[in-house]
Amino acid sequence: MNTSTLHYVFDPLCGWCYAAAPLVQAGRAVPGLAITLHGGGMMTGPNRRTITPQWRDYVLPHDRRIAQLTAQPFGEAYFEGLLRDTKAVMDSEPPTTAILAAETLGGRGLDLLQRLQRAHYVEGRRIADAAVLRELAADIGLDSSAFAAAFEAHAGEPTRGHVAASRALLSRMGGGGFPSFALARGDGGLDRIDASPFLGRPEAWQQHLVQAAGQA
């Protein structure tokens, strides 16, 4: 069977990536389609931030829109816990490192991303904390020692290099932000796929990917 590759540029703290999570799951069920993850580092370096009332007021309308559009769940622990904790740090780098580590452990990056999103948006967990990341990796069945070693190997410069490469890919794709998807063509080119019309419609997205992969 021929294998096509869908490139997915994401961020673990991106609400619209959470909106697209059912689309990613639907894509995983397309025969012969491999999904390659690219963490874009939305909240890394100088873009890291702590929660503020202003930030809560900014994200709440987006979150309500995502829930309305996609039926993705949001928890009270997120709305009334995490979003009111002015000591909580929003930092994409540690969870991106964790996803890279999980990907080296049997290709479990997408599984961990899904778990991280649920932990953040439903359970109100602090997914920038190393201890929380270890717990979530264990939740999906990853060996604790193997995950710790892989996390250490990817921490720091390897993750920052991955983010830089992801941003370069995003530019090459013509993507406007997160989430962005592109299907690799046989000639090495990339065909960007706009996921926004498919939010809340994973079956239609899946059919679209089947057709697009067949033409790539």
Q: Name the pTM for this structure.
A: 0.95
Residue with tokens 């100088």: 46
> Position 87: which residue type?
K
Residue 6's Cβ-side half-sphere holds a number of Cα atoms within 13 Å equal to 31
**Over residues 101-106, mean pLDDT:** 97
Mean pLDDT for all residues in the chain: 95
Instruction: Work out how many domains the chain is built from and give that number.
Output: 1
Using pLDDT thresholds of 50, 70 and 90, give the confidence band for residue 2: low
CATH number of the domain to which 129 belongs = 3.40.30.10
Residue-number span of the structural domain to which 121 is assigned: 4-215
Alpha carbon dihedral 205, 190, 13, 63, in 10-degree steps, equals: -40
| Residue 16 pLDDT greater than 80, yes or no | yes
Distance CA 27, CA 35 (A): 8
User: pLDDT: is 188 or 76 the higher one?
Assistant: 76
Q: Ramachandran region of residue 188, left (φ > 0), alpha (ψ -120 to 50) or beta?
A: left
